[in-house]
C-alpha cells in the first residue's frame, strides 16, 4: 500500500482496459438481481432509444474502482466512492465492449490521512462516468 507521504497530486495510480461480453452482463444480472431487459435484449434496448444492449451502470462503476483497489492493495481502504453516469457502455453481441479506466491523484488531505483518486472511464472514446472519485485512507 502506498504511503500518504509518498503521494502527490497528479500521480497516475493506474489504468486498465476491461473487456465486457454479453455473458458478463448475464452473470452480473444474476448476481445483482438487476434483470432489466435493456441489459440482455437488443430489441428491448432499441425500443427505448438505446443503441442496443448496454452494461449495467453499477457494473461499470464497480469495474472502474478496481484501478484504485489494485493501486492501494486493500478494498477496505476506500472510504468513499461516487460518480455520475454520463454515458452508456454498449455491449455488442459479437465483439463485446472495452471499458478503459485510468486514475490520478486529485487531492491529498494529510489531516484526514486520505487521498482522492479521480477516475476517467471511457468506452469507444466517449466518457461513461463523470466526476468519478474515490477517497482512500492511506498510512502516513
Q: What CATH number is given to the structural domain containing 8?
A: 3.10.129.10
Residue 36 lies in a domain: no
Residue 73 lies in a domain: yes
Residue 30 lies in a domain: no
Cα 113 to Cα 63, 122, 140: the distances in Å are: 25, 30, 7
Residue 32 lies in a domain: no
Confidence of residue 104 (pLDDT cuts 50, 70, 90): very high
Find the domain containing 80 and state its range.
4-20+55-137
Confidence of residue 63 (pLDDT cuts 50, 70, 90): very high
Q: Average the pLDDT over 34-50 and give the result.
A: 97
d(CA 83, CA 42): 26
**What pLDDT is stored for residue 96 in this prediction?**
98
**What pLDDT is stored for residue 43 in this prediction?**
98
Tally Cβ neighbours within 10 Å of residue 10: 7
Query: What's the whole-number average pLDDT of the chain?
Result: 97
pLDDT digits (tens, 9 = 90+) for 3-18: 999 999 999 999 999 9
The string of DSSP codes covering the chain is ---GGG--TT-EEEEEEEEE-HHHHHHHHHHH----GGGT-HHHHHHTT-SS-B--HHHHHHHHHHHHHHHHS-GGGEEEEEEEE-S--B-BTTTBEEEEEEEEEEEEETTTTEEEEEEEEEETTEEEEEEEEEEEE---
Residue 46 lies in a domain: no
Residue 9 lies in a domain: yes
Q: How many domains is the chain built from?
A: 1
Residue 33 lies in a domain: no
Q: Average the pLDDT over 50-75 and give the result.
A: 97
Q: Average the pLDDT over 127-137 and give the result.
A: 98
**What pLDDT is stored for residue 92 in this prediction?**
97
**What pLDDT is stored for residue 10 in this prediction?**
98
Residue 100 lies in a domain: yes
**What pLDDT is stored for residue 115 in this prediction?**
98
Amino acid at each position: 500500500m502506498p504511503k500518504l507521504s509518498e503521494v502527490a497530486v497528479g500521480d497516475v495510480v493506474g489504468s486498465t482496459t476491461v473487456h465486457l461480453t454479453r455473458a458478463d452482463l448475464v452473470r452480473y444480472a444474476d448476481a445483482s438481481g438487476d434483470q432489466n431487459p435493456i441489459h440482455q435484449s437488443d430489441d428491448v434496448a432499441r425500443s427505448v432509444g438505446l443503441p442496443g444492449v448496454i452494461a449495467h451502470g453499477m457494473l461499470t462503476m464497480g469495474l472502474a474502482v478496481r484501478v484504485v483497489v489494485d493501486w492501494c492493495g486493500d478494498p477496505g481502504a476506500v472510504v468513499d466512492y461516487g460518480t455520475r453516469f454520463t454515458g452508456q457502455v454498449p455491449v455488442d453481441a459479437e465483439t463485446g465492449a472495452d471499458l478503459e479506466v485510468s486514475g490520478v491523484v486529485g487531492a491529498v488531505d494529510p489531516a484526514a490521512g486520505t487521498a482522492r483518486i479521480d477516475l476517467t472511464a471511457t468506452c469507444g472514446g466517449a466518457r461513461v462516468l463523470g466526476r468519478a472519485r474515490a477517497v482512500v485512507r492511506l498510512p502516513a
